[in-house]
Structure 1
Amino acid sequence: MDKSGVSCGSAYAGKAGEFRIFYLRSVASLAEEAQRGVQAGEIVRVGRAMGRPNDYVFRVLRFSPATAKRKLKKAERMSPEQSERVLGLERIIGLVEVMLEKSDVPSESFDAPVWVANWLDRPCPALGNKCPAEYMGTRMGQELVEGILAQMQSGAYA
């Protein structure tokens, strides 16, 4: 648990740092992947890593639950717009993993995807006390959230 009493672990058996590649990849590479469409199963992977159900990912990324569930059931690719939002969320988790690598926090005691899920749902002073999750439904909103995280790392957090 972290200082706020929130669990820092999930039942997800993924590898620590597995999302960092999404932050380190070029924007062109991510744009190409979004254009092809990511597999709907990526929603499940991200949700598990975050310790959250699929419905949480649907809500945060503003996906129609019926459409997302249909695509999951049929193992379809998501639209470029949906793919961009999933990749953006993975990129934000990756940013936190990269921040962690550069910090003094022992990575084995910190679960970046779960931390991101918890942080997204907390009011943020830099957003006028709105929750960062409210901005995750668009790429521009995700860029705003990334910027706030980068400010936190640099100590310029407002």
Structure 2
Amino acid sequence: MPKTETSNEMSAAFPIRKADGDLEWLHHRFSIKKRTGGKALGTARATADGSGAAVVDIGGDKRIVVDFRRLYEADPMEQVSVIKRGVNARLIYVIADSMQMPKEKLIDTLGLARATIRRKCHLQTALSSDESSRVMGVSKLIGQVQTMVQESAPTDNFDPAVWVAQWLDRPLPALNGYPPGYLMDTAEGQAIVSQLVKLLQSGAYA
């Protein structure tokens, strides 16, 4: 697959797209442009592009794209390599903004320590393997939903990140009344949630 547009200033912005087999952008440092008006998250301006990826404005004409479907479809060994190396802590804020979820709520849902994440975001240091695994898990879940919708009933009006944020709060009979978000703080729980999404696609339960 040929490469498309990339940035030459890797320390300032992620590449817009990279060829398959390259998740290097998960580790790059970047500055986040604060929202004007001081409302909502105050961290990054994230919207969904036509592919469902999170487009983040970081100032000027620069932006980054967090391609959730790319993360979901990445080779498992590549995912393990990314997790072991550790992703940039600020990706949590970007993901939370794309989900239209307060960053503190996402941090709590993933069972992470607020003070630790706040410090690592400020210093732009990498998350630990365990922290990176949980962040990758929610990112892959968004990519899984995005893939499911695009393969079964593609629509331009569906935002997978926002849908996941809302669905994680919904009590489900399949989980004995617990919401999926209750399971997102462990790898085992995230695997159960992913399986529930597959059941949704097959129509096994509503």
TM over 0.5: yes
- 1:20 and 2:54 matched: no
Which of the two has higher C-alpha Rg? 2
Aligned residues of 2:48 and 2:159 also touching (Cα < 8 A): no
Give, in angstroms, the shift of residue 105 of structure 1. 4.5
Give the superposed CA RMSD: 1.3
- In structure 1, the residue matched to 2:62 is none
Structure 2 residue corresponding to 1:120, chosen from 138, 153, 168? 168
Q: Distance in 2 between matches of 1:82 and 1:157?
A: 31
Q: Distance in 2 between matches of 1:157 and 1:21?
A: 27
Q: Which has the higher strand share?
A: 2
Q: What SS does the aligned partner of 2:170 have?
A: coil
Greater RCO (Cα-Cα under 8 Å, separation 6 or more): 1
- In structure 2, the residue matched to 1:92 is 141
- In structure 1, the residue matched to 2:107 is 58
Corresponding pairs, count: 147
- 1:153 and 2:201 matched: yes
Q: Distance in 2 between matches of 1:135 and 1:65?
A: 18
- In structure 1, the residue matched to 2:178 is 130
**Which segments of structure 1 move beyond 2 Å, counting only runs of 4 or more?**
11-15
So what's the TM-score if we normalise by structure 1? 0.89
Give, in angstroms, the shift of residue 104 of structure 1. 2.1
Q: How far does the alpha carbon of each residue in 1:33-61 deviate from its partner, in whole angstroms, 9 at most, with x for none?
A: 00000000110110011001210111110
Report sequence identity in percent.
35
- In structure 2, the residue matched to 1:4 is none
Aligned residues of 2:111 and 2:185 also touching (Cα < 8 A): yes
Q: Which has the higher helix share?
A: 1
Give, in angstroms, the shift of residue 28 of structure 1. 1.1
Give, in angstroms, the shift of residue 22 of structure 1. 1.3
